[in-house]
Chain A
Amino acid sequence: MRYKVIGSLVAVIVLTSLVLGVVGCGDSTASPLPPQERLRVATTTSLYDTGLWGYLEPMFEEQYNVELDVMYAGTGKALEYGRRGDVDVITVHSKAREEQFIIEGYGVTRVPFAYNYFLIVGPAADPAGIRGLIPEDAFKKLMEAGSGSFVSRGDDSGTHGKEKAIWTAAGFDYETVRKAEWYIEGGTGMGPTLMMASEKQAYTLTDTGTFLAYKGKIDLVVIVDKGDILLNVYSAIAINPEENPKTKIDLANNLISFLTSPEIQELIGNYGVEEYGMQLFTPCAGAEPQ
């Protein structure tokens, strides 16, 4: 009788080792014998959701013979991963916070590598009548009209930061805006926020790339796409080894040179053009776009 208990335990062990064996084999075929180094990058969700990282990852891994672990998180969380030294490099889009991050000594330098523009999207009927306005005026009118809801990321991401900047530029205190009845804080990534806005037929602020990638799945159109404030710059920052000695600065620098190399810049510029009929990202190797 006791053997049955032991038997079932043995079965579990055998099954587990079998499964682990399978998983192990899978891994070893993916990475050839000399144990590869792993480089960790935390990337903003908007770069991940467009599929850009999935496209670039194998090329980088092959070129530098390193295993790249891509983690997606809003800019706020990505910066926090960086501060704690849990990743080696970050790709984010919130200039002011990136500069702060470097002043605090956590990052080495800020290297812009691509940009596009934010868009205000919403229901085709445009209930608040903000089509074609500049972003600041559009937000002002939204606030005054109070008709038509707005879904905010509400997750301390780069896009959320941009949204707050527009509210400030429009002359409002963000804390007052938050209290408005038509203002919805989703607390989630760009993709889910677009889906939520579509379900609720509300306005939202989005980056071009994610909007194009989701266009087929949602019922929203571009309402506002002109205004200097909408510029959206993506940059890569290597984590400073002086602050976090265990981070892999050399590998991180490899990734940054990779992203800013002419061939990859060209691939970034062409990424998605065939699928969406327009450019998702404009490459800007190392320089601030004008």
Chain B
Amino acid sequence: MTEIWQGFIKAIELIVSLDPEVMEIAGRSLGISMTSCLLASLVCIPLASLIYFHNFPGKRVLINIIQTFFSLPTVCVGLFVFVLFSRAGPLGGTNLLFTPTVMVLGQMILITPILLGLIISALSGVDKAILDTAISLGASGFQVAAVVLREVRYAVLAAIIMGFGRAISEVGIALMVGGNIRGFTRVITTAISLETSKGELELSLALGMILIFLALVVNVTLNRVQQR
């Protein structure tokens, strides 16, 4: 138990003293996860609307598949991306393995199903009357989508926060395709994994607390922007 308390004190020390290595790792974690979350959102919001507003055979099956992929294990995504980008693999020529770029890509693959699924289910909650009114007022397909998305903006934001949470907390992809290279691909979660294996439990706990703190800052910021 003393370790947890000492970890807490250490976390505060590291934050207050702006420990350069910890700041660098935290900045990288934040940068990679925010980028992947942003890019995934840009893909998923239009794609989810497209799926929701169109009726096509197999739609139900597709949504089921998307929801199944909520359970995608991070190591599987990591392995998949590794095999793809390894020099012996089909995209080996891009020379991207063990770089932050490929970590962003892996995290995008991980959170895309979550964003898609949650945005589709958010859209399903919209009152049909709003849809009908918009259509009867002569709104185009794009305008209808915009009206409905505006209705569900809180749920969409919640989906994005959820996706961000999954991205910043995962370790499987970051370790497998990032390689945990000091000063280049080391993020908070991979640092925790390394420090734990080195027996530095206090530092690991402190890093974990810093990650939660970062998530808090991001959530508060997003909610503020939303409520303004």
Contact = CB atoms under 8 A, between A and B. Distances in A.
A49 interface: yes
B90 interface: no
B180 A71 contact: yes
Nearest to B86: A84
B27 A23 contact: yes
B156 interface: yes
A13 B225 contact: no
Interface in B13-40: 24, 27-28, 30-31, 34-35, 37-38
A13 B225 CA distance: 13
A170 B174 CA distance: 41
A7 B87 contact: no
A214 B41 CA distance: 45
Contacts of B54: none
A238 B98 CA distance: 19
Contact of A7 (B24, B28, B88, B228): B228
A16 B87 contact: no
A125 B114 CA distance: 53
A11 B221 CA distance: 9
Contacts of B196: 192
B149 A20 contact: no
A286 B65 CA distance: 56
B31 A7 contact: no
Contacts, number: 99
Nearest to A67: B184
A195 B199 contact: yes
Given A26-B24, A26-B27, A69 B34 contact: no
A135 to B, nearest CB: 26
A290 B139 CA distance: 85
* Most chain A Cβ neighbours within 10 Å, of B88, B182, B225: B225
B225 A8 contact: yes
B197 A192 contact: yes
Given A8-B157, A16-B38, A23 B31 contact: yes
A22 interface: yes
Contact of B31 (A2, A20, A72): A20
Interface string A48-92: 010000100100000000010111100000000001111000000
B128 interface: no
A224 to B, nearest CB: 23
B98 A40 contact: yes
A20 B181 contact: no
B60 interface: no
B34 A12 contact: yes
A4 B87 contact: no
A13 B37 CA distance: 10
A12 B181 contact: no
A217 interface: yes
A4 B197 contact: no
A2 B156 CA distance: 13
A191 interface: yes
A206 interface: no
B31 A69 contact: no
B212 interface: no
Contact of B197 (A26, A189, A218): A189
A69 B184 contact: yes
Interface in B178-198: 179-184, 196-198
Contacts of B141: none
A94 interface: no
A67 B86 CA distance: 20
B181 A71 contact: yes
Nearest to A19: B31
A85 B87 contact: yes
A20 B100 CA distance: 11
Contacts of B34: 12, 15-16, 19
B28 A246 contact: no
A282 interface: no
Contacts of A13: 38
Interface string B80-105: 00000011110010010110000000
Contacts of B146: 2
13 contacts: A7-B225, A8-B225, A9-B41, A20-B31, A22-B31, A23-B24, A23-B27, A57-B182, A71-B180, A84-B86, A85-B88, A189-B197, A244-B87
Interface of A: 1-2, 4-5, 7-9, 11-13, 15-16, 19-20, 22-23, 26, 30, 40, 49, 54, 57, 67, 69-72, 83-86, 188-189, 191-192, 195, 214, 217-218, 244, 246-247
List the 4 shortest-distance A-B pairs measured between CB atoms, nearest first: A85-B87, A84-B88, A19-B31, A217-B199
Given A12-B34, A191-B197, 7 more contacts: A11-B221, A70-B181, A84-B87, A84-B88, A86-B87, A192-B196, A246-B92
